[in-house]
Amino acid sequence: MEKTLIVVQGPTGIGKSSLSIQLAKHFKTEIISADSRQIFRELSIGTAVPTPDELNQAPHHLIHSHSIHDDYNASRFESDALDLIASCFSKQDMLVMTGGSMLYVDAVCKGIDEQPDVDHEIREKLTRDFEEKGIEYLRMKLKQLDASYYQQVDLKNPKRLIRALEVCLMTGKPYSSFRKETIKERPFKILKIGLNMEREKLYNQINKRVDLMMEAGLEEEARSIYPFKHLNSLNTVGYKELFAYFDGETSLEKAVELIKRNSRRYARKQLTWLRKDPDIHWFEPHQQEEIICFIHETLKT
């Protein structure tokens, strides 16, 4: 059988982990997490890390493998995941990868362009500029240094703006010159499964999950990492809203409502990204048997 990576995708809170575990059990294989926050061992409740029971049902990789203090990104994930995939495929023909970090999934499925390493001094200066002068300063700086990428980037995302600017300042070249966007060939087949459901039902599910996180101790988890709130790894829905509460900027009730709202917004953003991929085969979360049959039929062709 051709080596096959089954990629389970979908918006936050829809049930990707549950399906992935069922697939791993059915095909007697392992799971690679493509979640840019579950990788940090200090984060569990707010990142919806699988429970100990779920983790015991199938071998998982790249969950709690790093610290929030580590400089981790999509490029490192691509390297780590490909090494794991090669190791797993030496023992079995099937492997499952799942997670809501679209850039991480694309790093494995398509590859990402080689870019210069981070210069921490430049990043720290740009971060201070953002904090002191605001996002409009970053936008104008990028427009000056790389007008082409300025037309493409999400101008509301300071992380993307800072990354582009640090490359421009480090190399003296436009960030866009490093973005060849050529898809890399992988020595295995990739089969993408997407999960979706009626929008209102998904939103209700997200809201309920946030309530369960709060009951499970999300506030206490956020307090334990509050001293490190400046870290990029903690600029994350579920934590940054509680940090604002700890800073006295809002009430706990308002912070929880913001977590729900921002989680719903993130789900919409994920679906917008995923709908652009013609290779995804869409199902609803309850169609686990249909998904397994579809995989078997697809692998026969």
Mean pLDDT over residues 131-136, rounded?
94
H or E, element range at 94: strand 94-98
More confident residue, 65 or 173: 65
Q: Could you report the per-residue pLDDT of 58-85, keeping only the tens digit for each?
A: 999 999 999 999 988 888 899 999 999 9
User: Which amino acid is present at 283?
Assistant: F
- Measure the CA–CA gap between 254 and 241, rounded to whole angstroms: 9
What is the structure's pLDDT at 181? 66
Count Cβ atoms below 10 Å from residue 219 Cβ, excluding itself. 18
Mean pLDDT over residues 82-107, rounded?
94
- Measure the CA–CA gap between 241 and 234, rounded to whole angstroms: 11
**What's the pTM value of the predicted model, to 2 decimals?**
0.83
Whether 209 and 260 have beta carbons less than 8 Å apart is answered as no
Q: Provide the pLDDT confidence category of residue 172 given band limits of 50, 70 and 90.
A: confident
Whether 29 and 92 have beta carbons less than 8 Å apart is answered as yes
Instruction: Say which residues have a Cβ less than 8 Å from residue 166's Cβ, sequence separation at least 6.
Output: 118, 119, 122, 123, 126
Whether 158 and 134 have beta carbons less than 8 Å apart is answered as no
Q: Could you report the per-residue pLDDT of 195-249, keeping only the tens digit for each?
A: 999 999 999 999 999 999 999 999 999 999 999 998 878 989 999 999 999 999 9
- Measure the CA–CA gap between 230 and 221, rounded to whole angstroms: 16
**By three-state DSSP, how is residue 133 classified?**
helix
Q: Could you report the per-residue pLDDT of 262-272, keeping only the tens digit for each?
A: 999 999 999 99
Parse the chain into domains and list their residue ranges: 4-112+182-300, 120-178
What is the structure's pLDDT at 184? 86
Q: Which residues pair with 219 in a beta bridge?
A: none
Whether 88 and 162 have beta carbons less than 8 Å apart is answered as no
What is the structure's pLDDT at 241? 97
- Measure the CA–CA gap between 215 and 99, rounded to whole angstroms: 24
Pick 120-178's CATH classification: 3.30.420.10, 3.40.50.300, 1.10.20.140, 3.10.100.10: 1.10.20.140
Q: Give the length of the chain.
A: 301
For every residue of 191-206, DSSP letters joined together read EEEEE---HHHHHHHH
- Measure the CA–CA gap between 171 and 92, rounded to whole angstroms: 43
- Any idea what the Cα angle at residue 123 is, between residues 119 and 125, rounded to 5°? 120
Show the tokens assigned to 38: 């579950």
Average pLDDT in the chain: 93
Whether 193 and 281 have beta carbons less than 8 Å apart is answered as yes
What is the structure's pLDDT at 230? 87
Instruction: Choose among 215, 217, 256: nearest CA to 237.
Output: 256
- Measure the CA–CA gap between 38 and 77, rounded to whole angstroms: 12
What is the structure's pLDDT at 171? 82
Q: So what CATH class is 4-112+182-300?
A: alpha beta
Highest mean pLDDT among 43-57, 69-83, 179-193: 43-57
What is the structure's pLDDT at 133? 94
What is the structure's pLDDT at 200? 97
- Measure the CA–CA gap between 215 and 212, rounded to whole angstroms: 5
- Measure the CA–CA gap between 268 and 263, rounded to whole angstroms: 9
What is the structure's pLDDT at 121? 81
Whether 96 and 30 have beta carbons less than 8 Å apart is answered as yes
